[in-house]
A and B are shown apart, each in its own frame.
Chain A
Amino acid sequence: MKLNKIALDDLPWIIEYESDKCMLCGKCVASCSFSAIKVGVQKRKKVRAISNEEGFSIDSDQKAIPVIQQNIDENDYCRGCGICTKVCPNGAIRPVRNKTEIFGTRYRSKTGESVKRGGRTNLHTEGRTLDKIKVGRISQMTDPSLDALRHTFDLRTNLGRVLNPKDIDLEIVNGELQPSKTKSIPPNRSIYPILIGDMSIGALSPRMWEAVAIAVAYLNEVKGIPIRMSTGEGGLPEKLLRSRYLKYMILQIASGHFGWNRIIDSMPYMQEDPAGILIKIGQGAKPGDGGLLMAEKNVKLIQEIRGVPKADLLSPPNHQGLYSIEESVQKMFLSLNCAFKFKVPVAVKVAASATSVSVYNNLLRDPYNIVGGFFLDGIAGGTGAAHEISLNHTGHPIVSKLRDCYLTAVRQGKQGQIPLFAAGGVGMNGNLAADAFKLICLGASGVFIGRLVLQMAGCVGNDFGKCNACNTGRCPMGITTQNPKLAKRLDIDQVAQNIVNYICATDIELKKLLAPVGNSTLPIGRSDALICVDKNVADRLDIQHVC
């Protein structure tokens, strides 16, 4: 009796298989990184009645036929990635979503473990706020729209502390302004308003990470799009640290401090300053929870880069020993600023939450003027591994939190002084430009993306439970795995090309949104350009309600 075992219809995905179409090439089994299917045999017995002079007699034959079978196992189960369908020459196999699955219950009962997975929230309990907002300030006769393809646009934003005009230390010499010789002002970079968010080289395969880095360099050097990439926690290869490409990288320091030994060791050899430093306090995909790097992914190379032994790695959610916001400013910002001789903007990333406004408020009062950016990460983001319960059930949506932060700065007359960057499901509907534009109008200086980059690279996962196995180290596309065989599936050049193409397309689309509102520069805080059909949302965000 198998009654107590996990059953096929408990699983989230059921393999639909047509044995008459199957030619048993075995490609599906070979390519399934989850070992969710196997070659099995089925006993087939045919019984025939043969009529003869005596009336009829019975004839039977019995065969064992090889077939493809689904594994029923709480570790090796189908994630619905559909790689089998992709490789099958005959279209004989496909995963079908099982709407009545109770896998989560079975898994917990069986293992005593929390369900973990990659990807972002899979519970779509309400529509996305950003989709309820439209760009509504369309230019008309008195304020002509622009031509997105003909006019020039200046799509740059600031990373770094922006000073009050009175403090920018200019003196008048012979009727000209000149920077004062005695004082210097905080570092500031003008960059593209879309950033590639922090995905660590441990969470991604080195090939994937390299592809992103190549795309970033290409976008900067060939396409003239000054996009920046955050390294994520865990450091980066020494070669890159010492290369001129470091200038496109924002080095992340998270609570685990993983990889910082290497970074510090490389500092005397750096040819270029990094684009910035991002101190990660929290993230929206697993707010208040540490990041996970499962031991499966912590392979030798990653252990070396991070300077850790083989183990599950948990970044504690907070920087331990930080006792208050003021102290964090003093301790971390000052030390990192000192380390980079006050030449590199140092920003902080927090999870969107009820207290993010208080934190931002506090930073706005930073007397040292050294907080170079506030990265606000909302729910619905996420790339690597997390407990499903955190992914699906905790966190704040980004929109109102960003807005609150922006408006608190406005009330103090300090908007833009600590640039706000927003993330959390940005581009979830596939339209990065639209989401970015709306968030910028609501007050963001820029946005950062993660999951979307994986999708540009060919990730087959989606936000409806497909794949989402980034935590397992068995990514079928070679994106979030450290298994060299799987990683090899990833065509680095193709991935880089896809990312470049997507960003170039987004660049055109951003202009397509700027053109009708008649702006040739970023409409940061231009909430009057937005409208919303939902009165509650409109009121909450202080934008125009239309119906």
Chain B
Amino acid sequence: MCRIGAIKSKKYIHPSLALKLMRSQQKGHDNSGFAFVMQDLGGIFENYKNLPTLSMACSDAGMKIAEDYLHSLGFVRVFQFTPEVYPDAKLDIKTMPNYVFEVFQYPKTYKNASKEEKEELLVNSRLKLRKLLEEDDEGYVYSFWEDVLTLKEIGNPKDIGTYFNLWGEDVNIRSKIITAQCRQNTNYDIVRYAAHPFFLQGYTTLTNGENTFYEKNKLAQKNLHKAYIGFESDSQCFLYTLHYVHKILKWPLKYFKHVLTPLPYEEIEKRDDKEVLTRIKTSMANLAINGPNTTIGVLPDGTMLSVEDSKKLRPTVVCKHNDMVIITSEVCGANEIMPDRNSNDDIYTNEREIVVVDNDLNIERIPQ
């Protein structure tokens, strides 16, 4: 079972905090990987908020492929950050030769482009880049988006932390939102892409559990959007459904839950909005999930959310303290980094609600 957690803070924080959040939940993971997504960047990236950042792990050849390709599109690199690494034969980590965090200036031709056009460009470039790198297995591109940084690595989370020196409080890399996960999923091969969090166009999700409708979800999602690819993990489906409901259909967030785990017909019958709920349940049946899951998500505007399967077979807890909210799969994680909060205020996400944290850290529970 994965252990997942997300931190949303008013101040910039360092990924070490996510690592610590995960550490106490160690019992649940098998040390096969660690990954995180940082959104709303601070530190050395703070000045580049409106420019896309490429997060990638690759070989030297892969590096060239990527740069050549992006240059051919007209992207110009404006900033590059190479994390200092601390190799040690004793560390349990499968490393890549290069870890790339580069900020690019949009091509000149996009000077007056709309937000949508730019987003489209970024998605297309990332998809193409992934394809190019995949051809000779030269690397992995995790995200190419404004104000987002992603790292995924295979190995023991503790050692990954040591390798990247993530235990220290480096002031260079900071952000206000960090989502992180330990251990990769068990169902499929251990590949870098399979590690949560999954990211697409500002949407991030992490899931703990099992999506027993993976096959159905996958077959349906494949045709819904060009960026719904990979499916290295059954949990990826949550990201695509969230993206589809919120970004493509533009429905209010609360309908995500109605799509994921629709109410039984008998309950729908009793509701005033039964017409709407029936249409959703009928049309979106292939996006429903039916297994033990708990999902944490982040929307492009920084809103964070937590949602569970309707059988309530996996927990998530939402904890708040001063300037920070944590959503995590095991409360011990929150106890470790937020020991002096009032745990009576912890919210254990209910099987029929979405818990939403806004940018002022107000927590709202939206019943299904």
Question: Hey, which bits of chain A sit against chain B, CB under 8 A?
Answer: 137, 139, 142-144, 146, 151-152, 154, 156, 158, 162-170, 172, 175-179, 185, 188, 190, 410, 412-413, 415-416, 517-521, 523-528
Contact = CB atoms under 8 A, between A and B. Distances in A.
A164 B283 contact: yes
- Name the residue in A143, A164, A412 with the highest tally of chain B Cβ atoms < 10 Å from its Cβ: A143
Contacts of A526: 212-213, 215-216
Contacts of B216: 523-526
Contact of B290 (A156, A164, A520): A520
B291 A185 contact: no
B127 interface: no
B258 to A, nearest CB: 9
B273 interface: yes
B197 interface: no
Interface of B: 1, 186, 209-210, 212-216, 219-220, 222-224, 244, 249-252, 255, 264-266, 273, 275-276, 278-280, 282-288, 290-292, 310-311, 313
A162 B282 contact: yes
A145 to B, nearest CB: 10
B366 to A, nearest CB: 10
Nearest to A165: B283
Contact of A190 (B222, B251, B278, B288): B278
Nearest to B263: A154
Given A176-B252, A415-B220, A190 B265 contact: yes
A521 B278 CA distance: 15
A517 B212 contact: yes
Contact of B284 (A142, A165, A190): A165
B291 A518 contact: yes
A152 B291 CA distance: 14
Contacts of B265: 154, 156, 190
A142 B292 contact: yes
A166 B220 CA distance: 13
Nearest to B309: A520
B214 A170 contact: no
A42 B193 CA distance: 88
Nearest to A190: B265
B252 A179 contact: no
Given A177-B276, A521-B288, A151 B311 contact: yes
A192 to B, nearest CB: 11
B249 A166 contact: yes
B292 A144 contact: yes
B277 to A, nearest CB: 9
Given A143-B210, A518-B210, A525-B216, 13 more contacts: A142-B1, A143-B212, A151-B311, A154-B265, A162-B282, A164-B283, A165-B284, A172-B252, A177-B273, A178-B276, A190-B265, A519-B213, A521-B288
B229 to A, nearest CB: 14
20 contacts: A142-B292, A143-B292, A152-B264, A158-B282, A162-B285, A163-B279, A165-B287, A170-B279, A172-B250, A172-B252, A176-B252, A179-B279, A185-B279, A416-B285, A416-B286, A518-B291, A519-B212, A524-B216, A525-B215, A525-B216
B290 A519 contact: yes
Contacts of A413: 220, 222-224
Nearest to A518: B212
A467 B215 CA distance: 44
Nearest to B267: A154
Given A144-B313, A412-B223, A525-B215, A179 B276 contact: yes
Contacts of B264: 152, 154
A139 B279 contact: no
A520 B311 contact: yes
A178 B209 CA distance: 33
A525 B219 contact: yes
A293 B1 CA distance: 61
B214 A528 contact: yes
- Name the residue in A166, A168, A517 with the highest tally of chain B Cβ atoms < 10 Å from its Cβ: A168
A415 B219 contact: yes
Contact of B210 (A142, A162, A165, A412): A142
A167 B273 CA distance: 18
A544 to B, nearest CB: 11
Nearest to B251: A177
Contacts of B273: 176-177
Contacts of B255: 177
Contacts of A410: 219
A170 B276 contact: yes
Contacts of B244: 165
A178 B277 CA distance: 10
A139 B212 contact: yes
- Name the residue in B212, B214, B222, B288 with the highest tally of chain A Cβ atoms < 10 Å from its Cβ: B212
B262 to A, nearest CB: 8
Contacts of B275: 179
B241 to A, nearest CB: 11
Nearest to A517: B212
A177 B213 contact: no
Contacts of B286: 415-416, 525
A405 B251 CA distance: 32
Nearest to B224: A413
Contacts of A156: 265
Contacts of B215: 525-528
Contacts of B214: 528
A172 B251 contact: yes
Contacts of B251: 170, 172, 177
A62 B273 CA distance: 90
Contacts of A190: 265, 278, 282
A163 B276 CA distance: 13
B264 to A, nearest CB: 4
Nearest to B281: A190
